[in-house]
Structure 1
Amino acid sequence: MPVPMDAFDDVRPATDCLDLLREPVAAALRDWRGSVPVEEIRFVDTDPEIADTERLVEHYGAWLLEQSANCVVVAGKRAGEVTLAACLVLSHTRVDVNGAVRRQLGARKASFAPMDTAVGDSGMEYGGITPIGLPAAWPILVDAAVADIPYALIGSGSRRGKLIVPGKALAELPGGTVLEGLGVA
């Protein structure tokens, strides 16, 4: 089921709202090179107070759990080196940090990145981090279930607003790898 765009009061092409996006996200949309046209990416203006998944579900309905994806930043460590990566999983699942992420990064240990590191290094707000516009050196791990849905509701880089993005576009992000089992129940 695609995201019901009529469930939201204000849905516009994301390229018409670049001034509402954090600069790394706006820059990524201005320079978009994916096979999915950038015009298919939409911005939904939402209240920052309901940015967290639980609050969004309370406001818009349970359908959102199957159509939204959370992006979390993880830190993989090996021999004193730290690799930051973004993981995108459906909202009703959690990231398999100690299994899929650790193996994919070739890390001895993996954990959620500290909030100040995730925010500072991404240039985005906590609770709104999105895989679009992250630093080029970061691997972006996308759960296969996210890549398979027609559209996913994801963060916009800030707590204000969300992006509606075709799953195929998320699978094709620069530095992206689609992984089965990244999101677990």
Structure 2
Amino acid sequence: MVAQAGGGSIAVGRQRFLADAAARGLEVQLVERLAAKSLEEAAGILGITPAEIVKSLVVKHKDGSFLFALIPGDRQISWPKLRNLLGVNKLSLPPADVALEATGYERGTITPLGSTTAWPVYADAAIAGRRISMGAGEHGYSAFVDADALTSALGAVVADISDPT
């Protein structure tokens, strides 16, 4: 399936997302949605709570490699917890252009599924056992997926890596 975006260009990010999900046997529901100015607005548009939206954060190691941290929308990444889990003393969120280069996705569309490089995935334990929404590789789209199936398909490490906002 070749999806068309505005102006007739191929929606490559969404295609990569869907192809990777299919290759992993992961069932996803793609939903076209209006642009949102905030997480709360996005949750309202999708008819869910902010906790059900999972942010896919690109995290940079001091050594230059990256990882994905999947964090519920109502929580924030806990740097001390993540550093402790990884046994490192420095991690950071890279600038948008670096995240794009590392994943092939723009901020707001980032997902581990279909990333141009398959970086390790760390998922916050708070997403376990629920249906979540996440980026789908293209602005204007969200994907719904079972969090446990997602973490299993990605071989993600599931741990407590977030704090309340």
Normalising by structure 2, we get a TM-score of 0.82
In structure 1, the residue matched to 2:50 is 65
Q: Which amino acid aligns with 1:132?
A: L
**1:89-108 counterparts in 2 under 5 A?**
89-97=71-79, 99-108=80-89
Q: Secondary structure at the match of 1:55?
A: helix
Structure 1 portions without partners, runs of 5+: 1-16
What is the one-letter code of the residue matched to 1:66?
A: A
Q: Which amino acid aligns with 1:68?
A: I
For residues 66-112 of structure 1, what are the alpha-carbon distances to aligned partners after superposition, in whole Å with 9 as ceiling and x for unaligned? Answer: 321111111121xxx22211111110000112x12212333221111
- Give the counterpart letter for 1:24 in structure 2: R
Equivalents in 1 of 2:2, 2:88: separation in Å?
36
Displacement of 1:175 after TM fit? Answer: 4.2
Deviation at 1:29, TM superposition (A): 2.2
Partner of 2:39: 53
Structure 2 contact 123–158 (Cα < 8 Å) conserved: yes
Give the deviation of 1:153 after TM superposition: 0.7
Partner SS, residue 88 of structure 2: coil
Residue 164 (structure 1) aligned with residue 164 (structure 2): no
Distance 1:123 1:51, change over 3 A: farther
How many correspondences in the alignment?
155
Map 1:129-144; keep pairs closer than 5 Å.
Answer: 129-134=110-115, 135-136=117-118, 138-144=119-125
1:126 Cα deviation after fit: 1.2
* Cα-to-partner distance string for 1:19-71 (whole Å, 9 max, x where unaligned): 256143133123124xxxx3x31001112x2274133135455x421321111
Shift, 1:177, TM fit: 0.7
State the TM-score, normalized to the length of structure 1: 0.74
| Residue 29, structure 1, aligned to residue 21, structure 2 | yes
1:50 is paired with a residue whose SS is coil
**Would the aligned equivalents of 2:66 and 2:102 in 1 still touch at CA under 8 Å?**
no
Aligned mates of 2:49, 2:65 — CA distance in 1: 31
Q: Secondary structure at the match of 1:129?
A: coil
State the 4+ residue runs in structure 1 displaced beyond 3 angstroms. Answer: 57-61
From 126, 135, 153, give the equivalent of 1:173: 153
